[in-house]
Amino acid sequence: DARVTQTPRHKVTEMGQEVTMRCQPILGHNTVFWYRQTMMQGLELLAYFRNRAPLDDSGMPKDRFSAEMPDATLATLKIQPSEPRDSAVYFCASGSGQISYEQYFGPGTRLTVT
């Protein structure tokens, strides 16, 4: 049963600390997306990659957020330094790239910054 996995599932941290979230896309998928979900803003696209190359990260606050794909099986989203307004659920999704609307979402990382 192929699925996107994300770690950690929950993270509570203090303001100013570094946070790293990890995502393992479905094996063989070459498109990876990072989203943030809040009650107020809904689901917002932060960044996406194709074949490990970042195609668009215009949704990310550049001064504190960074996203990378060190290899085809791992995507990371890092926040440094974290702020209370970063509290949200962060989702990773992957797609094969062959079907333009296809995205399979992971279970999310629930981040709370105090």
Tell me the three-class secondary structure of the chain, residue by residue.
CCCCEEECCEEEECCCCCEEEEEECCCCCCEEEEEEEECCCEEEEEEEEECCEEEECCCCCCCCEEEEEEECCEEEEEECCCCHHHCEEEEEEEECCCCCCCCEECCCEEEEEC
Report, in Å, the least distance between residue 39 CB and other proteins. 8
Span near other proteins by CB under 8 A; candidates 12-20, 60-68, 72-80, 100-108:
100-108
Q: Figure out which of the listed residues 91, 94, 111, 113 binds other proteins, where binding follows CB under 8 A.
A: 91
For residue 31, state whether it binds other proteins (rule: CB under 8 A). Answer: yes
Q: Figure out which of the listed residues 12, 102, 112, 114 binds other proteins, where binding follows CB under 8 A.
A: 102
